[in-house]
Amino acid sequence: MTIRFDDRVAIVTGAGNGLGRCHALGLAARGAKVVVNDLGGSVDGSGGSSDAAKAVVAEIEAAGGEAIANGANVTKMDEVKAMVAQAMDKWGRVDILVNNAGVLRDKSFTKVELNDFGFVLDVHLMGSVNCSKAVWDIMREQNYGRIAMTTSSSGLYGNFGQTNYGAAKMGVIGLLNTLVLEGAKYGIKVNALSPCAATRMTEDIIPENLLELLTPESVTPALLYIVSEDSPNRTIITAGAGTYARTIINETAGKWFPNEDQTPEKIAEFWAEISDPATQKEYTSGNDQTTNMLTKAANGLGIKI
């Protein structure tokens, strides 16, 4: 079955270049009406121009699609609300939000300025919060919504010199996990894309002979899947150079100790059993962890549950 977005309205942030541009073009090519949002700044977030967003809109329109440009700064809620209002005034609904806007201010932790740390968190994490908040009640009322966060291996696994970026990119996973729970009964699904692509942000760190493999076009199919009508939910999909995978956060079953053995020495003694990957399980809420721990304690103490 062909995935289409006819009669759907999508907002894509940071859509003037790179991945965002490719996402916007991909959604429009499959029938979506697209708000192409881009502040037009450089990779580090400085400057600003609407020319890039307007150019993407022109591409979409030239191919027979519908789109509008918007220059909202995702860190400013009043501008984000105005962007959503623009979409509602034009098309009457918002079905898809792609939180893609981002910046880089890379430095090792010992050298990074706290202002730069906060700015990166503000754009990636609070930008995603602001945009999601601005469309949330609309999606609840129409009983349909698809929100895509953009995470990164830098957050999931770490990357030297990117404490700020990594913290922000892991932060959006925490946001996602709870939005999934709160949006479930309203037809809202929330997923995350972890892309590996050659963009303005990566061109300085990827060997040149591999850049041609890491195209935005190889990532966008994953984005289109996780915002489609029959998308999964609470899923992190990784994509790059034609490979697609799922990232899963698991927790081992653990081991229960009676009071007298609840010591760091006992943890060290049984660490292999505690951390046994064969017992790993994916939880879908914080309650799952609590249930596991209390069930083990009850069984160990002989308490009936």
Alpha-carbon gap, residue 196 to 159, rounded angstroms: 13
pLDDT tens, 277-292? 999 999 999 999 999 9
- Region of poorest pLDDT, from 44-53, 180-189, 293-302: 44-53
From residue 304, give the alpha-carbon distance in Å to each of 256, 288, 295: 16, 19, 9
CA 176 centroid distance within chain: 7
What is the 8-class DSSP label of residue 124? I
pLDDT, average across residues 220-231: 98
Annotated catalytic residue within 144, 157, 165, 225: 165
Q: What is the pLDDT of residue 202?
A: 64
What is the 8-class DSSP label of residue 41? -
Beta strands in 90-182 (DSSP E): 96-98, 145-150
Q: Quick check: helix, strand or coil at residue 21? A: helix
Q: Is the dihedral of CA 231, 233, 238, 244 positive or negative?
A: negative
Q: With b meaning 16 or more CB within 10 Å and e meaning fewer, what string describes 162-179?
A: bbbbbbbbbbbbebbbeb
pLDDT, average across residues 200-205: 64
Q: Which CATH code, of 3.10.20.30, 3.40.50.720, 3.60.15.10, 1.10.3720.10, is assigned to 9-247? A: 3.40.50.720
Alpha-carbon gap, residue 13 to 35, rounded angstroms: 8
Q: Quick check: helix, strand or coil at residue 115? A: helix
**Using an 8 Å Cβ cutoff, are 154 and 104 in contact?**
no
Alpha-carbon gap, residue 124 to 167, rounded angstroms: 10
Q: Which two tokens stand for residue 263?
A: 């010591």
Q: Check whether 58 has a pLDDT greater than 70.
A: yes
pLDDT tens, 67-125? 999 999 999 999 999 999 999 999 999 999 999 999 999 999 999 999 999 999 999 99
CA 137 centroid distance within chain: 19
Q: Which two tokens stand for residue 81?
A: 């609300």
Q: Quick check: helix, strand or coil at residue 191? A: strand
The rounded percent of the chain whose pLDDT value lies above 70 is 94
**Using an 8 Å Cβ cutoff, are 218 and 175 in contact?**
no
Q: With b meaning 16 or more CB within 10 Å and e meaning fewer, what string describes 265-287?
A: eeeeeeeeebeeeeeeeeeeeee
Alpha-carbon gap, residue 80 to 70, rounded angstroms: 10
Q: Check whether 42 has a pLDDT greater than 70.
A: no
- Look over the chain and give the mean of its residue pLDDT values, rounded to a whole number: 94
- Domain ranges in the chain are 9-247, 250-301
Question: CB within 8 A of 120, min separation 6: which ones?
Answer: 103, 104, 105, 164, 165, 168
Whether 186 is catalytic is no
What is the 8-class DSSP label of residue 107? B
Class of residue 30 by CB neighbours under 10 A (exposed 0-12, middle 13-18, buried 19+):
middle
